[in-house]
Amino acid sequence: MARIVSNPLVWFLAAHGALAGLTVDVENTDSIKAAAALVAEDLMGLYDGEKPGNIPGILPGVDDGDIGWWTGGVLWDTLLDYKTRSGESKYDETISRGIQWQVGQNDDFLPANWSATVANSDQGIWALSAITANETSLQLEKDSPQWFTLAKNVFDDLSSEDRRVEEGGCAGALRWQLYTMNAGYNYIDSSSNIIYLNLAAQLAHLTGEQSYADAAASTYDILTRIGFITKNFDVYDGAHADDCKDINKLQFSLNAAYLLEGSAFIYNITGNDTWKARVDGLVDRTLELFFPDGVATEIACEKNSCTSDMHFYKGILHRALASTVRVAPHTASKIQPSLKSSAKKAAAECTGGSNGRLCGFVWSTGEFDGSTGAAQQMNMLSALVSILPVVEQVSGGNSSAGSGSGSSNSSGSENGDSQGNTSSDETHGSAGTKASVGLALLGSVLLGSLLL
């Protein structure tokens, strides 16, 4: 359960019906930050990795198999994005410890505890959290491997031929699972390949090394050749390795999100017209498909039944779109309106829990759906953070990224003012302003009392 707020004023207001969720002015930075701080507080109230006897780095439910191990990587990436855009550093030690606890004995995010079920997509998502930690100069423990080293080690693992299909229609593509005995080893998922592309693109942007950009380009070509990415920029889930003909055409926002973000990073460093066309096409299709009526929606499952892992996707979608605006600013005019309308609609349904502000999963109705948890809080936090401008970080820190600077070219500048795994091979779906709380008339003085 979420940690209960101890401020007596909050209890008084809740008892008298004055706490009516999060009312956010999406045009005001202070309001967005204030609301995000409350959502982050409730999210961290759900994390128990700091308690004696518990495992740092993972969310409750991983041990029981209710959610995938990869969700821990998304948790830390979400909080680091919050740090980047809000300037809030109160969770730094917890984030750093959480990521480092899961690096594994070979410093490549393959801890022995999860070796029986880990997927290539899982490992890649944790590497992306290390990339973000590097960008924010997150403090490392003494004698720990550098954030960049962790991400590079995962890239090297995922580049290995023994992780890939050797021949046939899927030749060259990453498999979903690492080990032959795992269910899903013969399933080729777009998630693993797209996350690899994203990782390669961010490493290329960070270092300026052509080999990373080449890996991203090659992966895009493979996914296009086997039909996982269509000419209309649909992004399908995957297919079986034997011939890659039985394509599962379900579309999940996680795949579209990571593909768009990775493509935007490559366009940022190349200015290439081909990559611009990919970015523009993916922006248009992603917004059309996953933001009906301007609200983030997991179309493949939301009207029926999403798995616990799929509950995490909408936050990834918001963050990836915001990241795209940052490195490809020409997309802002299309992306930002949807991010704002989605965040506004989502906040309106955050009326659950004993504190009257926990968020649900379905946002399109504007009403709380009774579904709460870490995924729901992470989605809401990402929705709010995605409409905040970037607070520039001091470069250097713990980075050991080589000689390249990953600087932007004519395609855009980073400094612009930009605002499931399932067990089945058939359906993969995996992976990785002024706000007032309650009545607007309470104003900024009351809000200051609520920020505990």
- Tokens standing for residue 257: 């999100």
Same domain? 115 vs 18:
yes
Mean pLDDT, rounded, for 233-246: 94
Which whole number is the average pLDDT over 426-436?
Answer: 39
Cα–Cα distance, 362 to 349 (Å, whole number): 9
Amino acid at 36: A
CA proximity to 340, closest of 296, 282, 297: 296
What pLDDT score was predicted for residue 183?
87
Domain that holds residue 71: 8-171+260-400+433-450
**The token pair that represents 57 in the structure block:** 């780095």
pLDDT digits (tens, 9 = 90+) for 285-300: 999 999 999 999 999 9
Examine residue 423 and state whether it is found in any structural domain, yes or no. no
Under the banding of pLDDT at 50, 70 and 90, the label for residue 431 is very low
Tell me the CATH number at 373. Answer: 1.50.10
Rounded mean pLDDT, 315-320: 98
| Amino acid (1-letter code) at residue 447 | L
pLDDT at 23: 82
pLDDT at position 358, please? Answer: 97
pTM given for the model: 0.86
Query: Do 396 and 306 belong to one domain?
Result: yes
In a domain, 427, yes or no: no
Same domain? For 125 and 224 the reply is no
Residue type, 381: L
Query: Taking the chain, what is the end-to-end CA distance rounded to the nearest angstrom?
Result: 18
Alpha-carbon span 305 to 294, nearest angstrom = 21
Q: Give the separation between CA 90 and CA 38, rounded to whole angstroms.
A: 13
- H or E element at residue 81: helix 70-86
Contact 14, 6 (CB under 8 A): no
CA distance 22 to 446: 14
Query: For the residues 404-427, what does the mean pLDDT come to?
Result: 38
437 forms beta bridges with 22
Residues 97, 194: one domain?
no
Question: In a 3-state reduction of DSSP, which class is residue 238?
Answer: strand
Residue scoring higher pLDDT (114 or 277): 277
Same domain flag for 178 and 271: no
Element (H, E) at 259: helix 253-270
pLDDT higher than threshold 70 for residue 428: no
Q: Does 52 share its domain with 187?
A: no
In the prediction, which pLDDT does 339 show?
A: 98
Position 301 in a domain: yes
Mean pLDDT of the chain: 86
Least confidently predicted of 19-23, 369-373, 437-441: 437-441
pLDDT in tens, 353-404: 999 999 999 999 989 999 999 999 999 999 999 999 876 543 333 445 543 3
342 and 369 housed in the same domain: yes
Q: Is residue 424 part of a domain?
A: no
Q: How confident is the model at residue 442 (pLDDT cuts 50, 70, 90)?
A: very low
**Among 250, 269, 288, where does a domain finish?**
250
> What is the percent of the chain with per-residue pLDDT over 70, rounded to a whole number?
82
In a domain, 347, yes or no: yes
* Listed residues 215, 250, 285: the one ending a domain: 250
> How would residue 38 be classed by pLDDT, with cut points 50, 70 and 90?
very high
For residue 385, give the H/E element and its range. helix 374-385
Q: Summarize pLDDT for 123-180 with one digit per residue, the tens.
A: 999 999 999 999 999 999 888 999 999 999 999 999 999 999 999 999 999 999 999 9
- What tens digit of pLDDT does each residue of 172-204 get? 999 999 999 888 999 999 999 999 999 999 999
* Same domain, yes or no: 162 and 240: no
Position 359 scores a pLDDT of 97
Average pLDDT over residues 323-341: 98
Q: Are 429 and 300 in contact (CB under 8 A)?
A: yes
Which of 231, 250, 269 terminates a domain? The answer is 250
**408 within domain boundaries:** no
pLDDT digits (tens, 9 = 90+) for 79-96: 999 999 999 999 999 999
Q: How far apart (Å, rounded) are the C-alpha atoms in residues 366 and 356?
A: 15
- Report the domain count for the chain: 2
**Are residues 176 and 118 both part of a single domain?**
no
For residue 414, give the 3-state DSSP assignment.
coil
Strand partners, 189: 238
Q: Is 404 left (phi over 0), alpha (psi -120 to 50) or beta?
A: beta
Is 272 domain-assigned? yes
Asked whether residue 154 falls in the same domain as residue 238, the answer is no
Residues with Cβ within 8 Å of residue 379, at least 6 apart in sequence: 296, 311, 312, 314, 315, 318, 346, 359, 361
Instruction: Looking at the structure, tell me whether residues 145 and 181 fall in a common domain.
Output: no
Residue 64 resides in a domain:
yes
Identify whether residues 351 and 317 lie together within a single domain. yes
